[in-house]
Amino acid sequence: MSTSPDFLQITGLKTHFPVESGLVFRKVVGTVKAVDGVNLNLKQGEILGLVGESGCGKSTLGRTILQLIPATEGTVVLGGKTLTDLPANELRAARADFQMIFQDPYASLNPRMTVYSTLAEALQAHSSVKKNELPKLVGELMERVGLSPRYIRKYPHEFSGGQRQRIAIARALAVKPKLIIADEPVSALDVSIQAQIINLLAKLSKEMDLTLVFISHDLSVVKHISDRIAVMYLGRIVELGPASEVFDTPKHPYTKALVSAIPSLDPDMERTRQRIILQGDPPSPLNPPKGCPFHPRCSSAIDACKIDRPEFLTCGNQQVACIRANEIN
C-alpha cells in the first residue's frame, strides 16, 4: 500500500534522441532534446491536462512515461513501482497498470481484426479468462464505452472515427489500468463527436478512479476536463496550476500568448480584442536557445533570461518557470 499521496511521480525526466550523420560510420552530430527535464506529481484519480504546440515534446513525454520510448535520464514511479528500473519481463507484466489512447483512431486498431478479436486479446493479455466468458466480457466492455454489442464482429473500417476511438478506449480499459495517458484523443474527430468522447473519458475516469493525463494542443478542450493543466514548451513545463486559473489568469508569457490565440465564438470580441501575436515560429528541439527556451519570442524578455534556465516560481496558485513571473503579473 503506497504511503505517498502522489500516485505518479516523475522526476528529472529527459528523453534525448541522437542525430546521426554519415554513410558508413554514423557519428552523433546533435541531439533532439524532446523532453528536457520534467518534474510532475499526480494524485490518484487526478486529471492532468498537458498542453503545448507541435515540437514541445508532450507526446514524447506521454510515451516516455509509459516506457514506450526509453528515458535518457530521470525516473517514473507509479504506485510505488519505479517503472524506469524494471527489467523487460517485469515491465511487460506491469503494463496492465498503465495504458495509452492514441490520436489517430484510424491507425490505432489492427484493420484485420474484428472488435471481438481486438478486445478479447486485450482481456487475455494479463489475466487468464475462460473462453466461454469472453463474449460476455467483450460485450460489457463495449457497452461501457457506448457501443452496441451488435457490432462485435465488425472490422475497424466499418466504424466512424468516434466509434473507433471508443473501441480504442475499451481496449485500454480491458486490462484494468490505473493510469491512462490520452495523446490528443479527439484531435482527429469532428467537433460534435469530440464532445462525446470527452464526456466519456471524464465519466470513466470518475467511475474507475483513473488517473488521466490528457494531452492536447487545444486548451479549451483540456480546460473542461482537467483538474490541473501543465503547459509545455520545448521539452519543459513552463506553467503548472489549477485548470481554470491557468486558463483565466495565465502567468507565463507563453501561456498568455497561447490563451490569447484561442478563437472564441464571439464575433464582437474577436474583432476588438488585442491578440498577442508571437513573432517567428516554434523553435526546433534540436537547437534550443540558451537560458529560457522562450526568450527569443518573448515580449517580456530581459538579458537575464538568456543566461540561466528558469526554475519554478510560485505565482498565485501556479508554478511558473519564468524569472519575471511575479513582476509581470
Partner 1 sequence: MALLEVNNLTTNFHTRNGVVRAVNDVSFSVNRGETLGIVGESGSGKSVTCYSLMRLIPQPPGRIESGSAIFDGTDLLSCSERTLRGIRGKRVAMIFQDPMTSLNPYLRIEDQLIEPLLIHEKTNRADAVKRAIRGLEEVGIQDAKNRIRSYPHEFSGGMRQRVMIAMAMITKPDLLIADEPTTALDVTVQAQILELIKKEQKANGTAVIFISHDLGVVAGFCDRVNVMYAGRIVETAGTREVYYHPQHPYNRALQKSRPTGDMKGNELYTIPGLPPDLSRPIEGCAFAPRCEFAADVCRSQPAHLKVIQSGHFSACTRIQNKEITL
Partner 2 sequence: MEPATTSSFNTERLLEQADQGTSLWKDAWLRMRKNRMAVFSVVVLLVISLTSVFGPFFLTYSYEETNLDRVAQAPSADHWLGTDKLGRDQLSRILYGGRVSLMVGLVATAVSLTIGVLYGTIAGFVGGKLDALMMRIVDIIYALPFTIFVILLMVIAQDAGTAVENWLLQSFGWKTDVASKWNLILLFGAIGAVEWLTMARIVRGQVLSLRKMEFIEACISLGLSRKRIIFRHLIPNVLGPIVVYTTLTIPAVMLLEAFLSFLGLGIQPPRSSWGLLIKEGSEMMEEAPWLLLYPGLLFSLTLFSLNFLGDGLRDALDPKTSKD
Residues that bind partner 1 (CB under 8 A): 53-54, 160, 162, 190-192, 194-196, 198-199, 202-203, 217-221, 223-226, 243-244, 257-258, 260-268, 270-271, 275, 277-278, 281-282
Q: Name the region of 184 (left: φ>0; alpha: ψ -120 to 50; beta: rest).
A: left
Residues at the interface with partner 2 (CB under 8 A)? 66, 68, 92-93, 95-96, 99-100, 102-104, 107-114, 116, 121-122, 125-126, 135-136, 139, 143, 146-155, 157-160, 162-163, 166, 168, 171, 175, 196
Minimum CB–partner distance for residue 155 and partner 2 (Å): 5
From the list partner 1, partner 2, none, partner contacted by residue 212 (C-beta under 5 to 8 A by kind): none
From the list partner 1, partner 2, none, partner contacted by residue 290 (C-beta under 5 to 8 A by kind): none
Minimum CB–partner distance for residue 163 and partner 1 (Å): 8
Identity of the residue, 63 or 228, whose beta carbon is nearer to partner 1 in the bound complex: 228
Identity of the residue, 151 or 312, whose beta carbon is nearer to partner 2 in the bound complex: 151
From the list partner 1, partner 2, none, partner contacted by residue 328 (C-beta under 5 to 8 A by kind): none
Among residues 24, 49, 35, which one has the least CA distance to residue 233? 35
Which residues, 6+ apart, have CB-to-CB distance to 183 below 8 Å?
Answer: 58, 59, 62, 63, 100, 101, 102, 103, 215
Among residues 106, 115, 107, which one has the least CA distance to residue 170? 115
H/E segment holding residue 320: strand 318-320
| DSSP symbols for 26-41 | -EEEEEEEEEEEEEEE
Cβ-based neighbour number of residue 57 at 10 Å = 25
Identity of the residue, 107 or 307, whose beta carbon is nearer to partner 1 in the bound complex: 107
From the list partner 2, partner 1, none, partner contacted by residue 110 (C-beta under 5 to 8 A by kind): partner 2
Identity of the residue, 7 or 102, whose beta carbon is nearer to partner 2 in the bound complex: 102
Minimum CB–partner distance for residue 194 and partner 2 (Å): 14
Collapse the DSSP code of 307 into the 3-class scheme (helix H, G, I; strand E, B; otherwise coil) and give the result. Answer: coil
Minimum CB–partner distance for residue 98 and partner 2 (Å): 8
Minimum CB–partner distance for residue 308 and partner 1 (Å): 25
Residue 210 class from Cβ within 10 Å (0-12 exposed, 13-18 middle, 19+ buried)? buried
Which residues, 6+ apart, have CB-to-CB distance to 238 below 8 Å?
Answer: 231, 232, 252, 254, 255, 293, 294, 320, 321, 322
